[in-house]
Amino acid sequence: MPQNPFAHVDLSRSISRPPTKDVYLADRSYRAFAVAGIYVLLALVVYILWQIGGAAMPAVHDYHLGFLTSSAWNVQTGQFGILPQIWGTLYSSLFALMIGGFFGVTVAIFLTQNFLPPRLAVVFRTIIEMLAAIPSVVFGLWGIFVVIPAIRPVANWLHDVLGWIPFFSTSLSGPGMLPAALVLAIMILPTIAAISQDALHLVPYRTKEAAYGMGATRWEAILKVLVPAASGGIFSALVLGFGRALGETMALAMLIGNSNQITLSLFSPANTLASLLASNFPEAGAIEVQALMYAALVLLAITLIVNVLGIGILTMTTKRSAVK
């Protein structure tokens, strides 16, 4: 046992004390608890993968990779393929990420860089975070009753005038890619805005002061110093938002039109993996359940790849900027 270095300190007079046994124990057990939590989470992910993988195995054997490249979903003839769903999932999520990401980061800058009196900023922040608490079904209904009627005239005008551009090649009748992606963008906005705000808050105030000291204008300080400094956190926020968009189910099932086709047009109905699962699972027979499990496995894989890619890009860019 090493000698207690604090033995000579008069504890009764000093405010700095070594941790007591209780504090030490509490600290250790909390740490053990947290580590155990991480392992439980990991085990849970593996267990879910194993369960879904097991249920999907017969379908994986039957359809192989053709499942990923075919576009039929016909229970009668036993043909299953999810190419349109993969396409729709990625297309709608990317499109939602573009809109939601832009507005989310803008909102984060607006709320953290003293554009508003602090109290008002707190109010706005709370309102935006409250968006995350709205149930998906409500977003779906709101999309049907508010968003679609609102964008229909604009969409059909775009189709009439700019119909030769592939993105506008069909008219919007109701449910479709654009309303789904717009609602999706609003659904992922609170996630992106909240985490980006945290990231911007974490940039030391001195950094900003230094930028001003160098003669930067407000916007130069924000765009050239603060945002790059917080870019790691902002990027994580975008990856998280993208993951959320990939897995969103009910609102999309109500808004995207559930049509198995691949088209660039924003006004056409499409389908996503999550919406396919939500629509077909309740009444699926044994064979269809296997195919649906295969689709679920693909969705899991896509989410995993996106997250791994995100983390990869993040570590690469932070290393590079650290070297600079």
Partner 1 sequence: MKRISLLATGLLCAGLIGAGAIAPAHAETRLIGSGASFPFPIYSTWFKSFSKAHEDIRVDYQAKGSGAGIQDFINHTVDFAASDAAMTDEQISKVDAGVVLLPMTAGTIVLAYNLPDSPKDLKLPRDVYPAIFAGKITTWRDPKIVAANPDIKLPDLPITVVRRSDSSGTTFVFTKHLSAIDPEFAKEVGSGTTVQWPGSDKFVAAPKNDGVTATIKQTPGAIGYIEYGYAKLTKADTALLQNKDGNYIEGDAKGGEAALASATLGADLRGWVEDPAGADAYPISTFTWMLFYKKQDADKAKSLRLLVDYCLAEGQPIADSMGYIPLPPSVIEKVRAAAEQIQ
Positions touching partner 1 (CB under 8 A) are 72-77, 141, 144-145, 148-149, 170-171, 173-176, 253-254, 257-261, 263, 265, 267-269, 275, 278-280, 282-285
Q: How far is the CB of 15 from partner 1 (least distance, A)?
A: 59
Q: How far is the CB of 92 from partner 1 (least distance, A)?
A: 15
Q: 133 vs 286, which CB is nearer to partner 1?
A: 286
Sequence-distant (6+) residues with CB within 8 A of 163 are 169
CB of 177 within 8 A of CB of 268?
yes
Amino acid at 239: V
Rounded distance, CA 287 to CA 160, Å? 44
Q: 30 vs 145, which CB is nearer to partner 1?
A: 145
Q: How far is the CB of 150 from partner 1 (least distance, A)?
A: 11
Q: 176 vs 190, which CB is nearer to partner 1?
A: 176
Q: How far is the CB of 283 from partner 1 (least distance, A)?
A: 4
Amino acid at 58: P
Q: 148 vs 273, which CB is nearer to partner 1?
A: 148
Q: 116 vs 134, which CB is nearer to partner 1?
A: 134
Rounded distance, CA 34 to CA 188, Å? 28
User: Helix or strand or coil: residue 80?
Assistant: strand
Q: 216 vs 250, which CB is nearer to partner 1?
A: 250
User: Helix or strand or coil: residue 120?
Assistant: helix
User: Helix or strand or coil: residue 128?
Assistant: helix
The percent helix, strand, coil of the chain (3-state, each to 5) is 75, 0, 25
Q: How far is the CB of 170 from partner 1 (least distance, A)?
A: 5
Sequence-distant (6+) residues with CB within 8 A of 20 are none
Q: 144 vs 240, which CB is nearer to partner 1?
A: 144
Q: How far is the CB of 154 from partner 1 (least distance, A)?
A: 15
Q: Is the dihedral of CA 167, 168, 169, 175 positive or negative?
A: positive
Q: How far is the CB of 301 from partner 1 (least distance, A)?
A: 24
* Cα-based torsion angle of the residue sequence 36, 41, 43, 45 in order, rounded to the nearest 10 degrees: -170
Rounded distance, CA 27 to CA 9, Å? 23
